[in-house]
A and B are shown apart, each in its own frame.
Chain A
Amino acid sequence: MAKVIVASVGYTRVGDHWDKSILDLAVEASKKALKPYPNIRPEVIIVGNMFSSQSSRQEHLGALLASALNLTRTPAFKVEAACASGGVAFNIAYNKIRSGEVSSALVVGVEKMRDLDTPEASLALSMAESAEYTQFIGASFLSLNAMLARLYSETYNVSRDELSAFPVIAHSNAATAEHAQFRKAISVEDVSRSPLVSDPLRLLDCAPVGDGAAAVLLASDAFDEDDGARVDVLSSKISTNIFSVYERDDMLKFDATRDAASKAFSEAGISVEDVDVLEVHDAFSVTAALSVEAMGFSREGEGAKDAAKGIYALRGRYPALTFGGLKGRGHPVGATGIYQIIELWLQLKGRGNANQVKGCRIGVAQNIGGVDTTSVVSVLARR
Chain B
Amino acid sequence: MAISYWRRRDRYYRLLGNKCTRCNAEYYPPVYICRRCGSESLIDAEMPGTGKILTYTILREVMSGFEGQQPIIIGIVQLDNGVKVLGQIVDTPIDALKIGCKVRTVFRKIREESSAGQIYYGYKFTVLC
Task: List chain A positions with a Cβ less than 8 A from chain B.
Answer: 118-120, 122-123, 126, 130-140, 142-143, 146-148, 150-151, 154, 195-201, 242, 244, 246-247, 251
> A251 contacts which chain B residues (CB < 8 A)?
54-55, 76
Q: What is the CA–CA distance of A126 and B11 in the complex, to the nearest angstrom?
A: 20
| Cβ of A124 to closest chain B Cβ, rounded Å | 9
Residue interface bits B14-26, CB-to-A below 8 A is 1, else 0:
0000000000000
A199 near B29 with CB under 8 A, answer no
Task: List chain B positions with a Cβ less than 8 A from chain A.
Answer: 4-5, 8, 11-12, 27, 29, 35, 54-67, 69, 72, 74-76, 84-88, 99, 110-111, 120, 122, 124
Closest to B86 in A: A246
> B60 contacts which chain A residues (CB < 8 A)?
195-198
B86 near A198 with CB under 8 A, answer no
B61 near A138 with CB under 8 A, answer no
A198 near B122 with CB under 8 A, answer no
Q: What is the CA–CA distance of A200 and B11 in the complex, to the nearest angstrom?
A: 30
Closest to B56 in A: A147
Q: What is the CA–CA distance of A135 and B5 in the complex, to the nearest angstrom?
A: 12
Query: Given A137-B122, A246-B86, does the pair A143, B99 have CB atoms closer than 8 Å?
Result: no
Between-chain CB contacts (< 8 Å), 8 pairs: A118-B61, A119-B61, A137-B124, A146-B59, A147-B57, A150-B56, A151-B55, A246-B86
Q: Which of B60, B84, B124 gathers most chain A CB within 10 Å?
A: B60
Chain B interface, >50% SS class:
strand
A147 near B76 with CB under 8 A, answer yes
Closest to A125 in B: B63
> B76 contacts which chain A residues (CB < 8 A)?
147, 246, 251
A138 near B69 with CB under 8 A, answer yes
B63 near A132 with CB under 8 A, answer no
Q: What is the CA–CA distance of A247 and B34 in the complex, to the nearest angstrom?
A: 12
The 5 A-B pairs at the shortest CB distance, nearest first, are namely A122-B63, A146-B57, A123-B64, A119-B64, A151-B55
A147 near B75 with CB under 8 A, answer yes
Closest to B30 in A: A133
Kindly identify which residue among A126, A151, A196 contacts B63, using a CB–CB cutoff of 8 Å: A126
> A242 contacts which chain B residues (CB < 8 A)?
35
New A-B pairs, 5, CB < 8 Å, besides A133-B86, A140-B62, A247-B29: A143-B57, A143-B59, A147-B74, A246-B76, A247-B27
| Cβ of B113 to closest chain A Cβ, rounded Å | 13
Q: What is the CA–CA distance of A247 and B83 in the complex, to the nearest angstrom?
A: 8
Q: What is the CA–CA distance of A117 and B112 in the complex, to the nearest angstrom?
A: 20
A137 near B57 with CB under 8 A, answer no
| Cβ of B17 to closest chain A Cβ, rounded Å | 10
Q: What is the CA–CA distance of A246 and B28 in the complex, to the nearest angstrom?
A: 10
> B85 contacts which chain A residues (CB < 8 A)?
246
Kindly identify which residue among B8, B55, B67 contacts A132, using a CB–CB cutoff of 8 Å: B8
Q: What is the CA–CA distance of A143 and B63 in the complex, to the nearest angstrom?
A: 10
B110 near A198 with CB under 8 A, answer no
| Cβ of A210 to closest chain B Cβ, rounded Å | 16
B62 near A244 with CB under 8 A, answer no
| Cβ of B63 to closest chain A Cβ, rounded Å | 4
| Cβ of B118 to closest chain A Cβ, rounded Å | 13
Closest to A132 in B: B8
> A247 contacts which chain B residues (CB < 8 A)?
27, 29, 84
Kindly identify which residue among B5, B67, B86, B124 contacts A119, using a CB–CB cutoff of 8 Å: B67
> B88 contacts which chain A residues (CB < 8 A)?
137-139
